[in-house]
Amino acid sequence: MRAVGFDVNGGPEVLRPVRLPVPEPGPGQILIRVAYAGVNHGEMQQRLGDFGAPDGIQVPGLEVSGEVAALGPDVTGLACGDPVAAYLPDGGGYAEYAVAPAAFAYPLDGISLRDGGGAALALTTAYGVLAGAARLTPGDTVLIHAAAGGVGSAAAQIARALGAAAVHGTVSSAAKADYAKRFGYDAVHLRDGFAAHISDVDIVLDPIGGPVRQTSLAVLAPFGRLAVYGEAARRPDLTLPVLTFRRHNRTLAGYDITDLATRAPTLVRSHALSALSLLASGAIRLDISTELPLSAAAEAHETLQAGLNVGKTLLRVT
């Protein structure tokens, strides 16, 4: 089968077309004939080497949509030909065929394969951070960093659907602030100096890290939650004195889908199904800003690495 992979860490140029055997689904797994693969920040980090050096060809791709092509032993509830969106904890989505845990394959009822391609990681994460880590309750005020991106654009709409009273965002440029307005934000601020524009926030979603994380603590309302779920700035970890959390009634929460997939897979599935039902009902929409052929995966990574992407980027596979 055709795939795109890399065997050395590096820039977007290390991504190259490869030919690989079609994988076989093991117990509890399904084989998917991939229609679309979502492009995610985590795949860029994998390519850069943040998760270690490759041992042979690595095929990135944490979320796909497509049709079920084969079932592994003991898999029930799905049939060959079913359209699904799937989260692939071990990657492999930039390929004509990919193996997914059946537990993370979600039937696409009333959702197109195109929308499904950007849903299983980005929407699940947005829902999980808000409802799971940050414990959003109706009436909360929410601040979302990287507001125009894949997870951010979905999180703004999900926050609103879950009853947030006000949703603010931050971005790196005026052009992105303009773009993000379509996601229903009450206001979108430039990230530089954002604390001058907002305070007393119940929930901050932070996939950036570094000084943004430090400043985000200062804008929390009493009992506010800072939910950290990414390190896009690739800055060193913060050292935070615990006592300041007590003194300012602050809470720090974390979200990591890889850990959840291992220790609480039913939570991942439940967050995914809740988010997909919002998508199917039209309460939220997926902003697919860019669709490229699989062979242009390096181009998609270039844009992501430059921080120039908005919404979701999809690779069209078959």
Is residue 132 involved in binding ligand NAP (CB under 6 A)? no
CA atoms within 13 A on the CB side of 168: 21
Angle between helices 150-161 and 265-281 (to 10 degrees): 80
| Element at 276 (helix H, strand E) | helix 265-281
Identify which range of 8-16, 34-42, 53-61, 73-81 contacts ligand NAP by CB under 6 A.
34-42
Residue whose CB is nearest to ligand NAP in the complex, by number: 149
**Which x/- pattern, by CB under 6 A, does the window 256-285 give for ligand NAP?**
xx----------------------------
**CB-based contacts of 184: which residues, under 8 Å, 6+ apart?**
156, 157, 160, 167
> For residues 284 and 280, what is the distance between their CA atoms, to the nearest angstrom?
8
Least distance from C-beta 74 to ligand NAP, angstroms?
Answer: 27
Identify which range of 10-18, 35-43, 74-82, 155-163 contacts ligand NAP by CB under 6 A.
35-43
Is residue 152 involved in binding ligand NAP (CB under 6 A)? yes
Is residue 121 involved in binding ligand NAP (CB under 6 A)? yes
* Residues found in the chain: 318
Is residue 297 involved in binding ligand NAP (CB under 6 A)? no
Among 41, 47, 271, 301, binds ligand NAP (CB under 6 A): 41
User: Could you give the angle at the alpha carbon of 222 between the alpha carbons of 219 and 227, nearest 5°?
Assistant: 60
Identify which range of 27-35, 103-111, 240-248, 252-260 contacts ligand NAP by CB under 6 A.
252-260
Among 46, 58, 65, 125, binds ligand NAP (CB under 6 A): 125
Is residue 93 involved in binding ligand NAP (CB under 6 A)? no
Taking a C-beta distance cutoff of 8 angstroms, is the pair 213, 228 a contact? yes
Q: Which is nearer to ligand NAP, 58 or 309 (CB)?
A: 309
Taking a C-beta distance cutoff of 8 angstroms, is the pair 101, 89 a contact? yes
> For residues 119 and 104, what is the distance between their CA atoms, to the nearest angstrom?
12
**Which x/- pattern, by CB under 6 A, does the window 216-245 give for ligand NAP?**
-------------xx-xxx-----------
Instruction: Name residues contacting ligand NAP, limited to 158-177 (CB under 6 A).
Output: 171-172, 176
> For residues 191 and 11, what is the distance between their CA atoms, to the nearest angstrom?
26
Least distance from C-beta 216 to ligand NAP, angstroms?
Answer: 13
Least distance from C-beta 250 to ligand NAP, angstroms?
Answer: 20
Instruction: Name residues contacting ligand NAP, limited to 3-22 (CB under 6 A).
Output: none
Among 64, 150, 167, 301, binds ligand NAP (CB under 6 A): 150
What is the gyration radius of the CA atoms in the chain, in angstroms? 19
> For residues 150 and 60, what is the distance between their CA atoms, to the nearest angstrom?
17
Among 30, 122, 131, 203, binds ligand NAP (CB under 6 A): 122
User: Sign of the C-alpha dihedral, residues 182, 186, 191, 192?
Assistant: positive
Structure-token pair, residue 225: 């939650």
Region at 48 (left for phi over 0; alpha for psi -120 to 50; beta for the rest): alpha
Instruction: Name residues contacting ligand NAP, limited to 180-219 (CB under 6 A).
Output: 207-208
Identify which range of 99-107, 117-125, 243-251, 266-274 contacts ligand NAP by CB under 6 A.
117-125
**CB-based contacts of 34: which residues, under 8 Å, 6+ apart?**
64, 65, 66, 93, 95, 96, 97, 98, 317, 318
Binding site for ligand NAP (CB under 6 A): 40-42, 121-122, 125, 146, 148-152, 171-172, 176, 207-208, 229-230, 232-234, 255-257, 307, 309
